[in-house]
Structure formats: C-alpha cells, structure tokens
Amino acid sequence: MAVYTHLSAEDLARLIGHYDVGKLVSAKGIAEGISNSNWLVETTGSDGNGARFILTMYERRIDLSDLPFFLGLLDHLSAKGVPVPRTIHDRDGASSRMVDDKAVALIEYLPGVSVGHPTPEQARAVGIALADLHLASTDFALTRENDLRPRDWAAILADAGAGAIGTIDRALPSVIEESLSDLLEHWPEDLPSSIVHADLFPDNVLMLGSRVSALIDFYFSCHDITAYDLAVTHVAWSFTAGGHDYRTEVGAALLEGYQSVRPLSQSEIAALPLLAQGAAMRFIATRIQDWLDTPADALVTRKDPMDFARRLQFYRRDGEKVFNA
C-alpha cells in the first residue's frame, strides 16, 4: 500500500457517494507498500452508526482486466469463511469504478494489527489460514496466470542491468548470478497447483493476539504451485528484520500449522528448498525494480533488496535442513 495519486476531499466524497455506505467523514492516506494508492476511509455508515473501509486506486503491476479475478476471489473466500475482506459493490452492483483513467475499489475494513516480530503461535495460525485459503479456492470459477514466474524475474533483472543493480549494493549482482540460472533450469512444473496469495507478508496479515483476523492485499494472487505459496510465506515470516537471522521456531510453527490442514506430499517437501530460493529471488527482482523506478516524491518507503538476498543465501546453504527437519 502507498499513495501515488492525490484525490481532493471533493473527489473522495463524490466517489463514496456511489456506494451505499453513508457520507464521507474522513480519508487518510496509507504509506505502507509499493504498488497502489490506498486510503483508510471513514463514513457515517449506511445505518448512521459509522463505518470504515479501505479505498484502493490501482497504480502499478495491475492489469485492469484482472480486477474481476482479484475482487471476486475476496468475495468467494469470505463466503467460505476464510478471514478476508469483502469487496463493497457500488449502487449498480459493480466491484470497481474508474476515476479518470484509473480503477478504484472499496474494500471492507477488518480489525487487527500486522505484527513485526511474530510469535510461533502467530506463525502457526498463519500456516493454518494459508492452507484454508488453498482449499477454499478450489471451486473458484475464475483463473489467472502468474505474471511473476522465474522467466519474469529474469526479465526484470536483465532490464535493470548489473550496473544499476550494483548501485543498490555492490554484492547484489553476484548473489543474483550465483542462483538465477539454477532456478531457471530446475524450477518444478509438475507439483500440485491452486490459487495462491503469492505475497503473504506479515503486513498482509492482520491479527488479534494469536488469531488471524484478516488476510489482505490479494493483488498478486493467481494460479501457481501451491507449495510455492507456502515457500513465499515461509521466506516472509521466518527471519528477523533485514533478513539477518533465521527464526527456527517461527519457521517450524508455520510449516506445522499448514500441514495440520493440508499435508504436503513428499515431492512438495523435496521441492521446498528450491521454491524458497525462488521466492527470495522473486522479491529481490521486484524490490530492485521498485527501488530504481519509485518516484522520489512518492509517499512510500523503498525496500532493500539485500534483505531477500540474505534469505536466498540462507536457503541455498540450509534449506534442506530446514524443510526436512
């Protein structure tokens, strides 16, 4: 989440008027994240008792033809009891609207906080929620191909160029060179697949104590290798800030929670070390792209690709031990 486009109070009030949610009371820009503009919106509520929503304007990496998939998936999972926010449809029944040349959507606000230093109990709950998501999405009617697969990471990195990448950190080009060709050559294509979240970082999970109250930000969701989504989540949750240290208890609890709902096959377990390296490379690539492309005046903090370079090196060295414990 971030704010790239600024809407006036009049623009926001006019937009909210298309929904049966009462009148606009306030709107505050949300600075976290990197891809879309977001506001926390408060209204008088349809019943006059007040209500909160998240308003999202789609700015980057989003093909507008994919919005029915993203927004429909939220409604599908919510109806299945998975803790995700519903899409608020406008008075015409549409899940999104256009503001000038950009699409916007109003999303249900769910309570909770994102944790910066998760406990093993919280990680276990996230593993359970992720497995529930994978199972609940099996009968969702729409599909979407992943547009951030290994060939896409390679293209992003080639477009950036080793010279520019080296300006971020001079060690970064060699970390990429050591791993990318191996990932491209050995990436599995025969593992079970499903709808995946593909971006389940701690800031995309809201918690109330050790309970998951909401999984949010589904704008990378797609069909891909199911165990890859577990690997992405493991990479995102199992390290201290900056990717410096692996948190054994957290990583183990996440895996245990997931497998308590959806046990992994032996082939999936065997692939996890490579899938985790790939997950780290995916975030190296997109963080490089964002670091180099983010406008200087955007209300957003750039994220360091070296955080995931360290995680990649950990999985290259210790992945077999982690996933076969």
pLDDT tens readout for residues 147-158 = 999 999 999 999
Task: Looking at the structure, give the CATH architecture of the domain made up of residues 120-323.
Answer: Alpha-Beta Complex (3.90)
Q: Which pairs with CB-CB distance under 8 Å and at least 24 residues apart come from 291-294?
A: 291/168, 292/160, 292/164, 292/168, 294/34
| Mean pLDDT (the chain, rounded) | 93
Q: Is residue 100 over pLDDT 90?
A: no
Residue range 9-108, CATH number:
3.30.200.20
Q: Is residue 216 over pLDDT 80?
A: yes
pLDDT digits (tens, 9 = 90+) for 159-183: 999 999 999 999 999 999 999 999 9
Beta strand residue intervals within the chain, DSSP E: 24-29, 37-43, 51-57, 87-88, 97-99, 102-108, 193-196, 205-208, 211-215, 222-225
Q: Are residues 86 and 109 in contact, defined by beta-carbon separation less than 8 angstroms?
A: no
Q: Are residues 133 and 76 in contact, defined by beta-carbon separation less than 8 angstroms?
A: no
- Rounded CA gap, 325 and 227, in Å? 17
Q: Is residue 276 over pLDDT 80?
A: yes
pLDDT digits (tens, 9 = 90+) for 112-136: 999 999 999 999 999 999 999 999 9
pLDDT value, residue 36? 81
Residue with the two structure tokens 């944790």: 115
pLDDT value, residue 302? 79
Domain chopping of the chain, boundaries: 9-108, 120-323
Q: What does the CA dihedral 298, 301, 304, 307 come to, rounded to 10 degrees?
A: -150
Q: Is residue 2 over pLDDT 80?
A: no
- pLDDT band of residue 206 (cuts 50, 70, 90) is very high
102-108 vs 87-88, strand pairing mode: antiparallel
AA identity, residue 59: E
- Rounded CA gap, 153 and 294, in Å? 18
pLDDT value, residue 58? 87
pLDDT digits (tens, 9 = 90+) for 15-70: 999 999 999 999 998 866 556 888 999 999 999 899 999 999 988 667 889 999 99
Q: Is residue 1 over pLDDT 50?
A: no
Q: Is residue 304 over pLDDT 60?
A: yes
Q: Is residue 73 over pLDDT 60?
A: yes
pLDDT value, residue 157? 97
Q: Would the pTM of this model clear 0.75, i.e. be above it?
A: yes
What's the rounded mean pLDDT across residues 269-287? 98
Percent of the chain with pLDDT over 70: 95
59 CB contacts (<8 Å, ≥6 apart)? 2, 4, 5, 35, 36, 37, 102
